[in-house]
Chain A
Amino acid sequence: MTLQDAYLLAPEMAIAGLALIVILLDLVFKDKRIIFAVAIFGLFVPVLLTWMLLGNVQACQDGVPDAFLVDLCSGGNLTAMFGTLVVDQFALFFKTLVLAIVLIVLLGSIDYIKRIHSLQGEFYALILLSALGAMLLPATTELVSIYISLELIALPLVALTTFLRDLRSSEAGMKFLVLGAISSALLLYGMALVLTYTGSTDLKVIASATSESKFGPETYALFLGVVLILAGFGFKVGFVPFQMWIPDVYEGAPTPVTAYLSVASKAAGFAIMVRVFLLVFGQYDLGWEILFMLLSTLSMFVGNFVAITQNNIKRMLAYSTIAQAGYMLIGIAVLTDPASNNQILGASSILFYLAGYAVTNLAAFFAVIVISNNTGSEEIDSLIGMGRRAPVISAILTISMLSLIGIPPTVGFMGKLYLFNAAIQTGLVWLVVIGVLNSVLSAYYYVRVIRKLYSPSADSIEKIRSSFPVRLAVGISGFGVVGLGILPGPVIDAAKISVKAVLVAL
């Protein structure tokens, strides 16, 4: 590892360092507020480092790389660690997104983690370590790094899931661990098959070695490997038929962890799917379009239908994330179109949808956290009368539900508009029809939440309390939901630039 590598990995090293500092401070200080402050303010270091890299990436793409990075810049791409990690706008987009998610999650969890007081320092550190994985994953272009990053995301989360130390939480952790291990096994098996066939773990080498491959007896092993890798990713992002761990884990885990899990690991998972697809798998003629249309349709229907019958709001949101993953798969189906214009449109619509989905889900989960901290219940019925008791939190929860349905003026609507537009551009009209029908279906259970909020309550009229950082977290994400819904232009542009950067590498 040279100095230049270290420079390019500065954001990741900063966040790893932050995690270690937090653990050390936890040993020294009794007052946990100091740790909280260090973690929050420390997060701005990787953010600044990420944005600093943007200039270097741009310079390399323009063909005039900064003097000390000349060696690492080839073909318009900055790569680190012997070409296993690439630093491009795509990676930087997701680094920023993950850091923003972590910031909101840390801010919003301060009230909740009083329940797990003794483990507060570990909580921050593990979230940061998981974020490290989520930042690395979108940048990887090599199978082993992909595997390591995926595990780095998941393992801290397994520990975090069990933090409540009750029956549910432990069961959730166990399920997460075992099913995660199975998915890793699938992934590794797939990678091994691809490695034996091509002799390399580098995605570019794999792409050029197999570019002529046709489906047939001599390539069965290769394509089995490809499908297994895809299945491994499927577990991580949680689309049907790899969704079975989601409801139990989401329900059992501490709610801030659920919030983080539902957005960060999904974002990173989709990021790597997009990259791998654009670089390698997209070139195989395996009927991807049909496959993804099918997976997408199944995810939407299963997620939405089952969500209708849920009474626990975390479980309902868990099923809703399955459906949301289904919408994003529409974008992957668009990607399978070989025309580069459509690929840009499809991939950038996933990126934008992910960003919108992240703020929306965070707003929803943290609004729920504020309420359940006070009522001690996570049933949907416990939301009754909250419109009175917590007007602002209820308004934000309402807006985030609208966003999940896809009703303007929220980012969820813009995301769907852009995503469905991409699908129409590639002629996937039927998929769009299924998509909008599912939006209607989902309106039923999302609106039920809104209805409970504004139903007259019989019992308590006591105001809901929350501390300032939590309100800040809910406020930022709520603002994001409406702000991106009204002015989505800049983020869409950023998403487009990011995707173009990936395509340049081809």
Chain B
Amino acid sequence: MATTAIMGYRVERRSTRSPLAWALALILAGACALLVCAGLFIAAGADPWQAFAALLKGGLGSKRAIAETMVKATPLILTGLACTIAFRARLWNIGAEGQVFAGAMFAYWCQSTLGDAPAPIQIAAVIVGALIGGALLGGLAGILKARFQVDEVISTVMLNYIIVYALSLLLQNGPWTEAGSFFEQTAMVPDAAQLPILLAKTRLHLGFLFALIVAAFVHVMLLRSSLGYEIRAAGSNLRALEFQGVKITRLIIVVMAISGAVAGLAGAFEVYGVQHRLKSGTLGGLGYTGIIIAILGQLRPMGVVAAALVFGVLLNGATLMQIKSGVPSALIYAVEAIILMFFLIAWAASEFRLRRLHHVG
């Protein structure tokens, strides 16, 4: 019971959250986030209205802009789902960041060993490789937690750093280095391996559709399957599950591996749908943004898709915003974090209510 009394009113924590309070808190949080952003625009010497307008126009202004927003949202849907799966089991997989790299790398390895196979086989190799690569890295963190009691937050963060160095090792004077290139990158992948474009004259690729299918799959998996049942139970009370003889160590490893596999897809889709080559640097940040997406999506797959699309608008619009108003597009990373913080505060605050005291005492 909170007992802070102000002017005859008292702030109390309640056991249930009223939808009205939640909606109100959400609107307030959104307004606060907008205000802070406006402040940041002004600090950068830009006109907030102009900057916001450019941001929205860049993200939603045309058919092409919308398609590009969907391109930007694709990896975020997947990393958001990856985090959702793990977070639902209260496993704090912060490693989507590294699992994105692992998926891209393993996919590249699988696909590049195929040589001149027909397109469907190449793309299948990319997808399977991405799943395996992400699952390996995620599963490794799962093993570290289940067998060695290493906190998964720290192990996944460490693995994020390690995998980036590993990629750099392979790209710099390594087996994957593009001949004659100064940059740390591979050669372009063959056309047959590139993900088909869904909408002509845009970059919208098959990956977007695939991400939506994965979201639907995760939704059903969480709500209806036995594994989903165990994931949700683990998130609420791991011990009760253990008392029923469910093998917790196995569950942890499986969940981390599945979470990693989904994140791995994001990396491979970026490489084979957008970049068309593997290079260090361009995959960074997808996993960390996925954490935000998962939480904003309330750990629900459909919420994740919605949040990822909103963030797609921001990321996509940021370029136009920088051109039109001079506000650095790096703003978006700050804005993402600010939105997350206000969202968390709104979520917590809607648990409280003001109650008038019957008797001041």
Do these two chains interact? no
